[in-house]
Amino acid sequence: MDNARRLATAVTIARRCVAAVGRDASPDENTADGTVLADAMAFADITASLVEKTRERLDIPDLAPTHRVDILAEWAWPIHTAMLSARPLPAALAEIRDEVEDELQAQGGLVADSLDALDGQVYALTALRVALEFQSQGKLDEAKEWLRLGRESGHLPGKPVNRTRRLTIIGVSLALPVALVVWLIARSGGDPEPPSLPYSMSDYAPACDGKAFPAAPAYAGAAPHNTVVLTAADDDHLPTSQKWALLDTVQSGMDVMKFSRAWRPDEARTVQAVACVDLVRQSDLVQVCNYRHSRDLIRTSLPTQISMFRGYFTVTVIEVRTARRLHHVEVTGDRAVCPQTVALDTSSVHTELTADQLKSAIGHLIDG
């Protein structure tokens, strides 16, 4: 199977899995949806926590298209990685592969024509992530090939890459779950063409670390001011490119309905500012959270206790066009609800900000 067909298959499997989750399917039920979920989880080492996270995110009213792409990309990446390792596909996934092959044959072998708009975006972003992996390993020819696949989907800016041109990455934002854009040089020996605007909301993450986006609209005039809210990862060892991610209102427990559309813009080109939320310290025991440690889908488990401490956050609002700081404030997290799931190596958890706290801290800069 060539790269394009393999990636199209991975994206289609991801779409089927997310659709199954949206229909409240469970991997341990004896249904078509349940079988697809169970096979995908076993094949790609997908955890039950991703299933639950996906289920909760799909319940968000008026979920923006860019967030749907992010959800699908979170599934497509591990599935595609497993396919690259040449693992044999389970029966339910093999049937999906055969359906993709039939569709490709009907479309004359053109992958771009076999994908709808949403799948095409996931295909393009996953191809670009593979290109970035190869570039980081110094495998420039492979990186160019994957960039070509991404552009052929019709969901990336830029011209098809000429094989005689040299490869240069000139802008990267890597935030997991995955939405990133890799840009390549346009003319051999010439200056690289900068991207006019980020391709997705998460690509504004570098603004939290001082990067300006000169093509973005200015923070000016009357409210509302479209703003992307980003949160810093708790892991201090992550590289800067992976530090910031879109605010997960489900994981943080925030009521998304309390935010106006200016907090959840649909298009990256309309963003005027970023709000960067960073946990700066935690102290004072609040409560103890009880968890049950499960492996794979086995229900038998051992109890685990994890301490919850008071979390203290800084919230910084930055104009993306100029990297100008508009506001900076420290807020103590009031939401003391134990997370539904935690990673196996979690040593402690902390209180979170509530939607009301975030609105009180910076709402005047966004809604007026």
pLDDT tens readout for residues 234-283: 665 555 556 788 886 555 667 777 889 999 888 888 999 999 999 999 99
| 343: pLDDT strictly greater than 80 | no
CB atoms < 10 A from the CB of 137, how many? 10
Q: What angle do CA 336, 175, 318 make, to 5 degrees?
A: 75
Q: Round to whole Å and give the CA distance between 13 and 89.
A: 11
Among 137-146, 186-195, 266-275, name the one with the lowest average pLDDT. 186-195
What pLDDT does residue 292 have? 74
Compute the CA torsion angle 127, 267, 244, 185 (nearest 10 deg): 50
Among 20-29, 43-52, 123-132, 352-361, name the one with the lowest average pLDDT. 123-132
What pLDDT does residue 227 have? 96
Domain spans of the chain, in order of start: 3-153, 201-365
Would strands 227-232 and 273-293 be described as parallel, antiparallel, or unpaired? parallel
Q: Round to whole Å and give the CA distance between 167 and 155.
A: 20
More confident residue, 220 or 146: 220
| 341: pLDDT strictly greater than 80 | no
Q: Round to whole Å and give the CA distance between 353 and 337.
A: 11
| 177: pLDDT strictly greater than 70 | no
- Residue whose C-alpha is closest to residue 299's, from 48, 52, 44, 53: 48
Average pLDDT for the chain:
79
What pLDDT does residue 239 have? 53
Q: Report residue 150's pLDDT band, with 50, 70 and 90 as the boundaries.
A: confident
What pLDDT does residue 280 have? 93
Q: How many residues does the chain have?
A: 368
pLDDT digits (tens, 9 = 90+) for 107-136: 665 665 566 777 888 888 888 888 877 777
Q: Is cis: bond before 61, omega within 30 of 0?
A: no
Q: Report residue 168's pLDDT band, with 50, 70 and 90 as the boundaries.
A: very low
What pLDDT does residue 175 have? 34
More confident residue, 44 or 142: 44
Global pTM reads: 0.50
pLDDT digits (tens, 9 = 90+) for 288-316: 998 876 544 344 445 588 999 999 999 99
Mean pLDDT within 93-102: 90
Q: Report residue 164's pLDDT band, with 50, 70 and 90 as the boundaries.
A: very low
